[in-house]
Chain A
Amino acid sequence: MSVALRAAQAAAPFLLLAGLWQIASLNLPKFLFPSLVDVFWRVLGIFLDWSEFRNVVATVGRIVAGLGGAFVIGAVLALAMNRSRAADRFIGPIMTFFQGVPALSWVVFAIIWFHGTEPRIFFIMLVTSLPAFVFQVLGALRAVPRDLFEMVLSFRPSGAKMFLQLTLPAILPDILTAWKVNLGNASRVVVVAELVGATGGVGYALLQQQQIFDMAGALAWTLQLVIFVLIAQGFIGMVETRAFKYRAVSEHAL
């Protein structure tokens, strides 16, 4: 399949959505469906005005910090659960309990427990992303093929060499998938956290647009976050392409 055809296929659903929106903007009030031309200029305006764009940077920083913290802590907990049945029995139920707590409840708890905006949002991002990382990394660790483990073990490696030569490469595909999934979730949670408990960021900017009933502005701020997620997903995709070039690809999949 040619590159142009693939690009056209990828763009088709977005073009369809944009077309439908534009048709709606011509027939419905502007405050409900603003023209995409207006939205485009608002998006560009946010990009070019640092006093506005720094809100996007703040939100991206919060997503990266929250996910990074959740991943590091989650990976350590998953390693402990994989090594020790006692740790598994202790941590597993807590993570399951955390998963059942709605993100909005964590927002309320964070506002009560913490003073500053950044600790609040970091806490919210951490606790909402942690269970997913723990379970995803744990699943990946448990799926390391036993026959490969025994093969490497037969050479009597140190713990560090076993981890670097077998465990890490074996779980890397699942880790990248976990990042992809959690990135989308985190971009939704961060907006909720900022909407309620922040004085800056995309969530806060969205709250302002809601107060002045500016749909074009709301859409433009939302698109900032969507663009970040698309860029981040594209980056992870590039890492996957490079790291997993060893995989066989069926001709039917091309």
Chain B
Amino acid sequence: MSDAEISFDHVTKEFPKPDGGGLFRAVDDVSLAIAPGELIALLGKTGCGKSTMFNMIAGLTEPSAGVLRVAGRDPFGDFNWFRGKIAIVFQNDRLLPWRTAIENVEIGLEMLGVPTAERRQRAQAWLTRLGLAGHERDYPHALSGGMRQRVSIARAFATDAKFLLCDEPFSALDEITGQRLREEFGTLVRENGKTAVFITHSINEAIQLADRIVVLRRPARIAMDARVPRNASPTERDDLRSRVEAILSE
């Protein structure tokens, strides 16, 4: 695990039950190592602890037991050290309604103290790259769901963060838009050398995008950890899909 960029070492996370009756274990003794530049898909049914693992990597919550390290540091304890190093693409776009598309892309750069001219240039470049040239001054309500999600992807990439965390970013989109954005997203992650963790419900999405698929079983325990060959044949993909389906249907 020493060369891992993100490492879970016997990590457990428990929450108090809402009724006050003891603890609910969301993540159970997970050990996982994610290498630099790897795009990993966390796959599992609803409530299997994917989001809890995601929030721990993001530093939004801390493990109850075990050790989690991102770039050798504790993302919760060293929260501010990760400024500009972790970017998140959320399930819904989470655009600020009072900001135009380009101002939304700029927000992460503002937090980093990037000078106005430079951040405007970087935001513009990412919007253009994601096919949103001409929509810079549009407010979120004037954009379609797919366009808004592109803005949120541009917002994450504009900070040039090393770690990219994605929480089902295409699940709210129609099939055609989602498919197109998935392809663009995979290309962007690889071209920019990001280490990315991707949460999804979709087996096809995981196989299409990821270098590696980790399937979780409730409470978050690793049931399968498989590599996806970059040029996998249709037969290999079908075989992988069948194995994942078998685990998820248990």
Contacts and interface: CB of A to CB of B under 8 A. Distances in A.
A247 B99 CA distance: 10
Interface of B: 58, 60, 79-80, 82-84, 86-88, 90, 92, 94, 96-100, 107-108, 110-112, 139-142, 159
Interface string A141-172: 00000011011111111100100011001000
B88 A248 contact: no
Nearest to A249: B141
B139 A156 contact: no
Given A152-B107, A154-B88, A155-B111, A246 B139 contact: yes
Contacts of B97: 246-247
A161 B85 CA distance: 18
Contacts of B142: 248
A151 B94 contact: yes
Given A169-B96, A169-B98, A246-B97, A155 B107 contact: yes
Contacts of A158: 111
A148 B79 contact: no
A154 B58 CA distance: 7
Contacts, number: 57
Given A154-B87, A248-B139, 4 more contacts: A152-B111, A154-B58, A156-B111, A246-B100
Contacts of B86: 154
Interface size class of A (residues with CB under 8 A): 10 to 19
Contacts of A157: 111
Contacts of A156: 79-80, 82-84, 111
B94 A165 contact: no
Contacts of A244: 98
B111 A151 contact: no
Nearest to A245: B139
Contacts of A147: 90, 92, 94
In order of increasing CB-CB distance, the 10 nearest A-B pairs are A248-B141, A156-B83, A151-B94, A155-B111, A246-B139, A154-B88, A157-B111, A155-B108, A169-B98, A246-B98
Nearest to A153: B60
A246 B99 CA distance: 7
B220 to A, nearest CB: 20
Contacts of B139: 246, 248
Given A246-B141, A248-B141, A150 B83 contact: no
A134 B8 CA distance: 45
A103 B110 CA distance: 46
A247 B139 CA distance: 8
A28 to B, nearest CB: 53
